[in-house]
Structure 1
Amino acid sequence: MKYIYVIIVLLPFFCSCRPNESRVKVDISKLEEIIIDPKKGIALPMDSLIKNIFFVKLETKGDNLIGKISQILFVNDLLFVVDNESSKSINVFDMKGSFKYKISHIGNGPGEYVEISNVCIVPGKEQIAILDRPQSRIIYYKYDGQYVSMEVIPFINDYFEYLESGNKAYEIYGMNDPKLGNNKQNSLIVADSTNNLIYSFFKDIYKPEFHYTKNRTLRKFQGNVYYSPNITDTIYLVKDSTVEAKYHINIAEKNVTDMKFETSEQFNDLLNDNYFFNGDFIELKDFTYINVMTPWGYPSAVYVHSKKKVFLNSGVGNHPFFNFLTNEPKARYNDNCIVFDVQSYIILASKDKLYGNKKSDPLLDPLFDNLTEDSNPVLFFFHLNENL
């Protein structure tokens, strides 16, 4: 089977960061095959896949404008909305969308950052951690934005996630930091709470002629950290001393990972006509929600854990908010809910289509009330149907 072949081929590169260079154990015993067949798969209307929908309009004030949302974190009935490009800040809202406060400390001094590379919730503490990649440091704040401490990272990394033990999983694809010794040959390292290396995993395929990267290879859902290595179709569960192969995403039709390519240009050319699992997924309590990259969009599939069965999204549905179930979701909420963020100008552009000949609609009126092109994005919550 393909996924076993890939794992066996890569096993020689799984090495530990300990002095004795013992290899990390990769557990393949629990690997589940998720077959996504665009031609023969069972496609269901969105009315069957989605149980209910609600939205949260993020309150807009003069000092909390959000350009593009990079992350959404849910903490103690609060929404932490990260904008790492435009405002370089974290705006905090309640679950009704009312603005509470803003975390913004741009600068080079103590407790300040140059860039929000990513944000993590610190396990066991009421704190968030901001990775400032240009300055190779992590800055810790309380939930209310009060500065706590700063930690220097002794090696270059792209972003990280916390394991529940306090250990950290770092994405180092293409970093090639000599401080990591032989471990720089791999794309993921796991370190303890003080950044002593425990092990590294998965051979780094970056090279000058091939530098394509997935959207986000490290993801955390409800305490579990998942890693989907670049240009692969396997999702791994990252643990403190081992890596567990969790899912193999088997796209049965025109799968790019089955094809030969040497350069980024060749790979991009293949994407023009073929399918690819770009690492976009949300792990839920009862489902895995998966987006597939295609030449014509990002169709989704729902893998039902209990039945080990896949249902494709037909793209057809009656609810007006299905218009905003596009591309990949930004976050998980509670057990089986996926969250999309939609810019206000996109919503306004769909107004005439959604209303049709109607002047008023009880579903749509609250959404468009006081919404302008300068309003903050709107979050849409789609609760999947547990009876699938």
Structure 2
Amino acid sequence: MKNILKSVAIICLMLISSCANTNKTDAEKGIDVISINKSGRFTSDTLVESVTYLGLKPLDDCEISGIDKIVRVDSLYVIGDFRRGIICAYDSESGNPGFIINNIGQGPGEYSELSCFCCDKSRIYVVDNRRQQMLVYDALSGKFVESKRMPIIPDDVESLDNGGFLFVTVPLGSRRKLPNSNHRVHISDKDLNIVDNLFEYKDDEFDPIGQRYYLTKNNNKIVFGSLMFDGYTVMDDRDPSKYHQVKIDFKNGLQGKSDIDMRDVKNYDHLTLPPFISGNNAIISYTLGDGYIEYGLWNKDVNGILPMPSDNISKAIMPVVGVDGDKFIGYYDSYDRYKSAVDHGFAKASESVEDILKSEGSALVIYKMRQQVPSNTEN
């Protein structure tokens, strides 16, 4: 009898421990399930260790209209502006201009459009979908190296540790796919030969709307997200076939609803973009069926969104355009927008950075993050 009671007690403890674990798992598929409920105990500034600015002077009279992608390469921040079709590089410590790739054209080293790009430690890879080419540039100088014929027309691209690439093709009513291969993710070797495919879809399956991008990367982790799934997928750039999926506990998600009219998407819960992930932290952009896009800092230990503080917002996190190790990166494209934010209580920059903004430059906002909520934080 004592043994039976002991066994029951152990089972009860196991059940209690399981219920207390905030990161649930879909046992059938081995998928982590997370919550985006807002924390009532902590605010986003709890995890912000510091806020610093990096002023970016205009480069060769070429003003950045916006940052679509930012990548840290050695001592440089490489910035892609798809609307202007340019890639700019700045020193990551001083903000001094490095080089610019502004090669719209039809000749050698030129591209008809900057469709997407990625970097590794030594190269910048620009995909031109109009000409179905990949153009390769030196990552430290911006000099053209070579061009290669693309095997597919991708919606996004990321580099892999072995020199290969990860390509995303999302069905949006027109077929952009490999012959006999309906997949969202394609893995290539360094010579652009497709060696594997992931996430197969049916002939009549399409995402109701597209996204500005489908991949984010930090260190060796690549995050893929599209509306095929109410969450996102984390891949290892050393072997993308080793991945795990994270499902968000949406009440009215889009997953499995392939016949949704694009005009009705606003009535469903979904991620608007794949998150930027830094260790235990993630910047998540989502809508909860009211058409209003919410944006917040999620933390693994809290397992929820840490809302912006209501009183002192000097360390509040503005919209993020990238991630660099333990840092999230925001961006001001004008002095007026910066001044408006500061007037509302956001962190103030140095006079030198303000002078750059006043002279039609721009500025990065660097949020260095803590991974765990400090033990001395008040409830």
Tell me if both proteins adopt one fold, taking TM over 0.5 as the criterion.
yes
Among residues 194, 198, 208, which one is paired with 1:197 in the alignment?
194
Contact persistence 1:291–1:299 (CA under 8 A): yes
Q: Measure how far apart 1:115 and its partner are.
A: 1.3
- Rounded to whole Å, the distance in 1 between the matches of 2:82 and 2:132 is 16
Q: Measure how far apart 1:177 and its partner are.
A: 4.3
Aligned to 1:134: 130
Matching of residue 348 in structure 1 with residue 339 in structure 2? yes
What does residue range 186-265 of structure 1 map to in structure 2 within 5 Å?
186-204=183-201, 211-232=208-229, 233-237=231-235, 243-252=241-250, 254-257=251-254, 260=257, 262-265=259-262
Q: Measure how far apart 1:205 and its partner are.
A: 6.5
Among residues 356, 361, 364, which one is paired with 1:376 in the alignment?
361
- Rounded to whole Å, the distance in 2 between the matches of 1:260 and 1:363 is 46
Aligned residues: 342
Q: Measure how far apart 1:239 and its partner are.
A: 5.9
Structure 2 SS opposite 1:330: strand
- Rounded to whole Å, the distance in 2 between the matches of 1:293 and 1:43 is 23
What does residue range 281-296 of structure 1 map to in structure 2 within 5 Å?
281-294=275-288, 295-296=291-292
- Rounded to whole Å, the distance in 2 between the matches of 1:375 and 1:354 is 23
Aligned pair in 2 of structure 1 residues 47, 225: CA closer, same or farther (>3 Å)? closer
Structure 1 SS opposite 2:254: helix
Structure 2 letter corresponding to 1:132: D
Q: Measure how far apart 1:101 and its partner are.
A: 2.3
TM-score, normalised on structure 2?
0.78
Contact persistence 2:44–2:297 (CA under 8 A): no
Aligned pair in 2 of structure 1 residues 261, 122: CA closer, same or farther (>3 Å)? closer
Q: Measure how far apart 1:332 and its partner are.
A: 1.3
Q: Measure how far apart 1:250 and its partner are.
A: 2.2
Note the residue ranges of structure 2 that are not aligned, 5 or more in a row. 1-23, 374-379
- Rounded to whole Å, the distance in 1 between the matches of 2:160 and 2:348 is 44
Matching of residue 150 in structure 1 with residue 142 in structure 2? no
Among residues 297, 301, 304, which one is paired with 1:301 in the alignment?
297
Give aligned-pair identity as a percent.
15
Aligned to 2:175: 176
- Structure 1, residues 118-139: CA drift from partner, whole Å, max 9, x if none? 221135xx22111111111111
What does residue range 1-388 of structure 1 map to in structure 2 within 5 Å?
3=26, 28=30, 31-38=31-38, 41-60=39-58, 63-86=61-84, 88-94=85-91, 95-122=93-120, 126-142=122-138, 143-174=140-171, 176-177=175-176, 180-183=178-181, 185-204=182-201, 211-232=208-229, 233-237=231-235, 243-252=241-250, 254-257=251-254, 260=257, 262-265=259-262, 267-271=264-268, 275-294=269-288, 295-304=291-300, 307=301, 309-316=302-309, 321-322=314-315, 325-327=317-319, 329-334=320-325, 336-344=326-334, 345-354=336-345, 365=351, 367-369=353-355, 371-372=357-358, 375-388=360-373
- Structure 1, residues 243-287: CA drift from partner, whole Å, max 9, x if none? 3442423235x342368562333542414xxx3223431221343
Aligned pair in 2 of structure 1 residues 320, 240: CA closer, same or farther (>3 Å)? closer
Divergent runs of 4+, >4 A: 1-5, 205-210, 238-242, 258-261, 317-323, 361-367
Structure 2 SS opposite 1:48: helix
- Rounded to whole Å, the distance in 2 between the matches of 1:134 and 1:45 is 45
Q: Measure how far apart 1:43 and its partner are.
A: 4.8
Aligned to 2:377: none
TM-score, normalised on structure 1?
0.77
Contact persistence 1:337–1:383 (CA under 8 A): yes
Structure 1 letter corresponding to 2:371: E
Q: Measure how far apart 1:319 and its partner are.
A: 5.3
Structure 2 SS opposite 1:154: coil
- Rounded to whole Å, the distance in 2 between the matches of 1:97 and 1:241 is 34
Structure 1 SS opposite 2:108: coil
Note the residue ranges of structure 1 that are not aligned, 5 or more in a row. 8-27, 356-360
Aligned pair in 2 of structure 1 residues 97, 201: CA closer, same or farther (>3 Å)? same
- Rounded to whole Å, the distance in 2 between the matches of 1:80 and 1:159 is 17
Structure 2 SS opposite 1:134: coil
Contact persistence 1:199–1:241 (CA under 8 A): no
Q: Measure how far apart 1:156 and its partner are.
A: 2.2
Structure 2 letter corresponding to 1:243: S
- Rounded to whole Å, the distance in 2 between the matches of 1:114 and 1:82 is 15
Aligned pair in 2 of structure 1 residues 227, 121: CA closer, same or farther (>3 Å)? same
Structure 1 letter corresponding to 2:131: Q
